[in-house]
Amino acid sequence: MLQEIPRTRAFPDIPQITPAEAEAMVRAVIKLFEKWQLSDADAREILGGLAARTYARWKAGEPGRIDRDLATRLSLLMGIHKGLRYLFSDPERGYAWVKKPNRAFGGRPPVEIMTQGDIFSLARVRSYLDAERGGW
C-alpha cells in the first residue's frame, strides 16, 4: 500500500541560516583564512569581491548584514573546512592543502580555484572534498 509523504513547504518557517549563525561563520572564516595564510585581497575575492572596508570591519568583529550570497559562500567555506578536517588528522596538513597543486584542478592549488570569485568555484572545491571523503 502506498503512503503519501507530506511535501516540504517551499518557504520554511525558519531561514536556512540565521543572522546569528552567519555572524558565527564570519568569525570562523576569518580565523580559517588566517590558518590558510591568505592575503586580504585573496580572502575578499573568495568572498565575492567584498569591499576592503567591509572586510576590515569583519576582521574587527563587526560583520554587519550578511546577504544570501555571502551566507552561501560562508557555508561552502565551512564545508571545505569540515572536509579537510575529515581528510587530514593533522590540521596543519589540511590548512596547507589549499595552497598545494592538485591534479583534480589541472595542477592548480585549490585556493587559485576559489579566488576566481564565483560561487561555483567554491562549490567545485567543496564537491571535490566531499567526493574524496566518500560523501557522494
pLDDT 10s digits, 65-105:
888 899 899 999 999 999 999 999 999 999 999 999 999 99
* Domain range list for the chain: 19-132
| pLDDT tier at 19, thresholds 50, 70, 90 | confident
Q: Taking all residues of the chain, what is their mean pLDDT, rounded to a whole number?
A: 90
Calculate the alpha carbon distances from 49 to 22, 33, 52, 92, 134 in Å.
Answer: 18, 15, 9, 27, 32
C-alpha cell at 74: 560562508
Name 104's Cβ contacts closer than 8 Å, sequence gap at least 6: 128
| pLDDT tier at 136, thresholds 50, 70, 90 | low
Return d(Cα 28, Cα 37) in angstroms, integer.
14
Return d(Cα 21, Cα 57) in angstroms, integer.
18
Q: Specify whether the CB–CB gap between 37 and 27 falls below 8 A.
A: no
Return d(Cα 112, Cα 94) in angstroms, integer.
16
| pLDDT tier at 58, thresholds 50, 70, 90 | very high
Which pLDDT does position 77 carry in this prediction?
96
Which pLDDT does position 53 carry in this prediction?
95
Answer with the residue of higher pLDDT: 134 or 26. Answer: 26
Q: Specify whether the CB–CB gap between 52 and 79 falls below 8 A.
A: no
pLDDT average, residue stretch 38-58: 95
Answer with the residue of higher pLDDT: 42 or 62. Answer: 42
